[in-house]
Amino acid sequence: MDVVEAMRVAVEVARQGSFTLAGRELRISAPSVSRIIAELEADLGARLFNRTTRQLNLTDAGLEFVQKSAGLLEELDHMRNMVRERHDTPRGLLRVSCVTAFGNECLAPAIPDFMQRYPQLSVSVDIGN
């Protein structure tokens, strides 16, 4: 069982108040949602949801689990985005060598905008013939 995925499913079921609506939101079938919740409840040894044909309610354990899971999932998403952003943002030193004509006509006018767009990047330009 993927615990993080099970946490996401449990949080979405609690938000939507329905296995079917949670499944639609997560793009998985309602039976898959039901199976994941059943596996999670078995793993935890506690019932998270009280289910009837008309409504779905969190148990005390379910409320605590969903609240803590939502915080952990938010922190996990924040951490993943931070790492991706850090990896996607150019940083370091960029060395460029070019002929004088190209450097003066094309490169020099573009450097200020480029450096403003990527402030963590240093540019070293060697212009010569």
Single-letter amino acid code for the residue at 88: D
The residue count for the chain: 129
Contacts of 16 (CB under 8 A, 6+ apart): 22, 25
CATH architecture of the domain with range 3-87:
Orthogonal Bundle (1.10)
Rounded CA separation 75/12 (Å)? 16
* 6's tokens: 């099970």
Domains 3-87 and 90-127 in one fold: no
Return the domain boundaries, the chain. Answer: 3-87, 90-127
Residues in CB range of 15: below 8 A, 6 or more apart = 22
Q: What is the C-alpha to C-alpha distance for residues 116 and 120, in angstroms, rounded to an integer?
A: 9
Q: Which fold is adopted by the domain 90-127?
A: D-Maltodextrin-Binding Protein; domain 2 (3.40.190)
pLDDT tens string 60-91: 999 999 999 999 999 999 999 888 877 777 88
Give the predicted TM-score (pTM) of the model: 0.68
Render pLDDT for 23-39 as a digit per residue (tens, 0 to 9).
999 999 999 999 999 99
